[in-house]
Amino acid sequence: MSMLNAEVARIFEDLADLLELDGANTFRVRAYRNASRTVESLSADIAAIVEHDSAELQQLDGIGKDLADKIVVIVRTGNLPQLEELKAKIPIGVVHMLRIPGLGPKKVSALFKELGLETLESLKQAAEQGRIAELKGFGKKTEQTILDGIALATEAGKRVFLSDAKAEADAIVADLQQLDCIQQATVAGSCCRRKETVGDLDVLVTSSDSNAPMDRLAANPLVVKVLARGDTKQRVRLRSGLELDLRVVPEESFGAAAQYFTGSKEHNIVIRRRAQERGLKLNEYGLFRGDEIVASRTEAEVYAAVGLPWIPPELRENRGEIERAEAGKLPDLVELSDMRGDLHMHTTATDGLNSIREMAEAAKSRGLKYIAITDHSKRVTMANGLDADRLRAHWAEIEKVRSQVSGIHILKGIECDILEDATMDLPDDVLAEADWVIAVLHYGLKQPREQIDKRLLNAIRNPHVDVIGHLTGRLIGHRPGADMSFDEILKAAADHGVMLEINAHPSRLDLDDIHAVAAKDRGIPIVINTDSHNIQGFDVMQYGVFQARRAGLEAKDVANTESFDQFRKRLER
């Protein structure tokens, strides 16, 4: 059984959690966490490496022979005996106890081994009965902390889409900026790095009065509870269940704090190491030589002091950005303002809510110069997909609207399903009439890798297919993507001149950033599309751009940043 990189990474992460609860050596635990991150960040297909030459695994960062052997076992069997043995010893509910603030592995291990508690519910009952306070090293205060934290732990495992987290964070920052005492306010953390999902939020402000921002935040209608408040830090829970930390920092420390709290942890470790090599100490208050502050007001100052240009937050994952920065080769990342076209959208002909003309006018009002109308093919019956006759009539309507709406070019397109038997949902003579063909997987996503590969490769080799849309078919947090041989698929796309889509819908963001990097490295043009089903749907374009930026894509890597004439020439094969 072949495994996706993310699944191998998850197994290592689960193993690290369980080993920590079992009292394993901290260095051993850290080795598995580092291995998880290495595999998750790998653009190459881990299963393909194993199949080709498993010895190559040891060339990966932090992967020695022991970990390489374990990867081979996971890829070939789908699991890891060591993990299964630990799962038999330590139930998953015990791992969830680690989410309770202030409850570390030693205390969780004691609760499990001495009281036999295996779930958050059993933990709650024990606390309510006063049994936890009787344990050595706990007491009444810890028992109450556990009771207060159980609800938080239940919510803490939940992550929300970047779009939802960003909307809340931006609204809170905008509200705080109404205070005269605040000089600067910004979102930090994973939301600032534009991660696909966000587990909590960080907001930084500089203010002459630390109480006023905290009072303002506590009164914000998005806040349902103040969890903690100190002199310069406040933690609140939002309506979404997310927790938000507000930090009030001196104006002279704002840049250092923004860099520190934005992360990622792995990126910051390297930055701190560079500071140490220069006889400096870096923390959230600034960059110091002894007691003298060297840099702190802006992030650019901090980076410059360690010999680097400013690095965009989306790149701060320690995936080579520091080496590129040192060499003066940081990419000039694509911007939302670079986008000229949107090539994936739906109308009332299938499951969209607006007409062809309404979609065209809405796109034009957002500054787009060209669009493709790409309603569903007939396989998607729940969306009233189009057969050949209805599609041709639909295209005739598009041609009519072309003559009525000036200032924007409208392509006749189709989102055509790649069927489970590896054929296209519409015949070639129909596809040949289209200006733009998106081939997609909607059904049969759990088919074996060999069949998924066959379906995608057949579509890529079809002379009428221009792009593969939302390649894996994943829905973030709800449905994993199809299992496929990414190296083979990407090679075929490059060989046949077929583009790949970053679907900007926050629940998809497919391609992910790792595979978008791999596509760029092969010279495959990317298109960023909204998959809009109504005129408001165009607003999600920014999330596709964020994903592209995390992949280090420049405007030249994204085909629909081109003018219409340039793009039309690209389609002439």
The span from the CA of 493 to the CA of 459, in Å, is: 10
State residue 38's pLDDT score: 81
Is the per-residue pLDDT at 76 higher than 90?
no
Query: pLDDT per residue over 121-149, tens digit each?
Result: 999 999 999 999 988 889 898 898 888 88
- Given a cut of 60, whether residue 230 has pLDDT beyond it is yes
**Across the chain, which distance is largest between two alpha carbons, in Å?**
80
Q: What total of structural domains would you count in the chain? A: 5
pLDDT (mean) for 223-244? 91
Contact 206, 251 (CB under 8 A): yes
Is 259 in the same domain as 240?
Answer: no
Q: What is the mean pLDDT of the chain?
A: 92
pLDDT, one tens digit per residue, over 323-354 is 999 999 999 999 999 999 999 999 999 999 89
CATH number at residue 208: 3.30.460.10
Domain for residue 455, yes or no? yes
Instruction: Please indicate, yes or no, whether residues 84 and 112 belong to a single structural domain of this protein.
Output: no
Q: How confident is the model at residue 152 (pLDDT cuts 50, 70, 90)?
A: low
| Close Cβ partners of 403 (under 8 Å, ≥ 6 residues apart) | none
Domain assignment present for residue 331? The answer is: no
Inside any domain, residue 437 = yes
Q: Of 119, 141, 156, at which residue does a domain stop?
A: 156
**DSSP category for residue 327:** T
Owning domain of residue 412: 336-571
pLDDT at 1: 30
Handedness of CA 317, 513, 487, 68 (dihedral sign): positive
Q: What was the pLDDT predicted at 45? A: 77
* In the predicted structure, residue 153 carries a pLDDT above the cut 80: no
Q: Are residues 340 and 385 in the same domain?
A: yes
Query: At residue 228, what are phi and psi to the nearest 5 degrees?
Result: -160, 150
pLDDT digits (tens, 9 = 90+) for 533-561: 988 899 999 999 999 999 999 999 999 99
pLDDT exceeds cutoff 90 at 88: no
Task: State whether 526 and 476 are in the same domain.
Answer: yes
Q: Please, which residues have CB within 8 angstroms of residue 150's CB and are 6 or more apart in sequence?
A: 100, 120, 123, 124, 127
Residue 115 shares a structural domain with residue 180: no
Q: What is the mean pLDDT of residues 357-366?
A: 96
Q: CA 73, CA 79: separation in Å to the nearest integer?
A: 7
pLDDT tens-place string over residues 267-313 = 999 999 999 999 999 999 999 999 999 999 999 999 999 999 999 99
- Report the helix count and the strand count for the chain, using DSSP H and E: 24, 17
pTM of this prediction?
0.81
Pair 534, 351: CB distance under 8 Å: no
pLDDT value at 200 more than 80? yes
How much of the chain, in percent, has pLDDT values that exceed 70? 98
Q: Does residue 228 sit within a domain? A: yes
- Do 245 and 264 lie in one domain? The reply is no
Identify whether residues 106 and 77 lie together within a single domain.
no
Domain boundary among the residues 136, 156, 176 is at 156
User: What is the tens place of the pLDDT at every residue in 437-469?
Assistant: 999 999 999 899 999 999 999 999 999 999 999
| Residues 519, 566 share a domain | yes
Give the CATH number of the domain where residue 150 resides: 1.10.150.20
Give φ, ψ of 564 to 5 degrees. Answer: -65, -40
289 and 245 within one domain: no
Domain C-terminal end among 291, 326, 361: 326
Q: Please list, in sequence order, all residues whose beta carbon lies within 8 angstroms of the beta carbon of residue 528, skipping any fewer than 6 positions away.
A: 339, 501, 502, 504, 541, 544, 545, 547, 548, 558, 560
Residues near 62 by Cβ (< 8 Å), separated by ≥ 6?
31, 34, 35, 38
Neighbour count for residue 27 (Cβ, 10 Å): 7
Q: Residue 472 maps to which CATH number?
A: 3.20.20.140
Q: What are phi and psi of 306, to 5 degrees?
A: -105, 20
Residues 370, 498 within the same domain: yes
Q: CATH number of the domain that 297 lies in? A: 3.30.210.10
Residue 353: inside a domain, yes or no? Answer: yes
Q: Are residues 353 and 431 located together in one domain of the fold?
A: yes
Residues 377 and 428 in one domain: yes
Q: What confidence tens digit (pLDDT) does each residue in 472-531 have?
A: 999 887 778 899 999 999 999 999 999 999 999 999 999 999 999 999 999 999 999 999
pLDDT confidence tier of residue 43, bands split at 50, 70 and 90: low
- Per-residue burial over 400-436, b = 16 or more CB atoms within 10 Å of its CB, e = otherwise: ebbeebeebbbbbbbbbbbbeebebbbeeebbeebbb
d(CA 107, CA 123): 12
pLDDT in tens, 397-436: 999 999 999 999 999 999 999 999 999 999 999 999 999 9
